[in-house]
Amino acid sequence: MFSWVNPETSDILVEYVAVKTTHVATSACTVDCGTTAASATTLSDNLIDGKDVNAAIGTFTNMESAGTNGKAGQRLATAKWVTGSVASGASAGIVGTYEVYYRVL
């Protein structure tokens, strides 16, 4: 769904990520968001884990939609990623934006 790279020249602390949906997925769909050093396409769920994006539109953050594995305060090295991925189902029909809030360390 999305990939964001740390643009800073040092590590950052990803305080939270917000996913804002304006149209729901047309069928069952859950999403994961998280930090990863592996690649821009690697699924990670250490910020948001298994958020249902077919049930309703809204703004979902790792503060209120963390799921089982999600949490705040993920350290991320320079040139590494925050990804938003389909965890289950299909993302057809979903429309929205994302925001990454962080602090330079």
Digitized pLDDT (tens) for each residue of the chain, 105 residues in all: 999 999 999 999 999 999 999 999 999 999 999 999 999 999 999 999 999 999 999 999 999 999 999 998 899 999 999 999 999 999 899 999 999 999 999
pLDDT number for residue 88: 96
Token pair 């304006």 is found at 22
pTM of the model: 0.93
19-40: string of b/e by CB count within 10 Å (b at 16+)?
Answer: bebeebbeeebbbbbbbbeeee
Contacts of 96 (CB under 8 A, 6+ apart): 19, 20, 21, 22, 23, 53, 57
pLDDT tens by residue, 43-62: 999 999 999 999 999 999 99
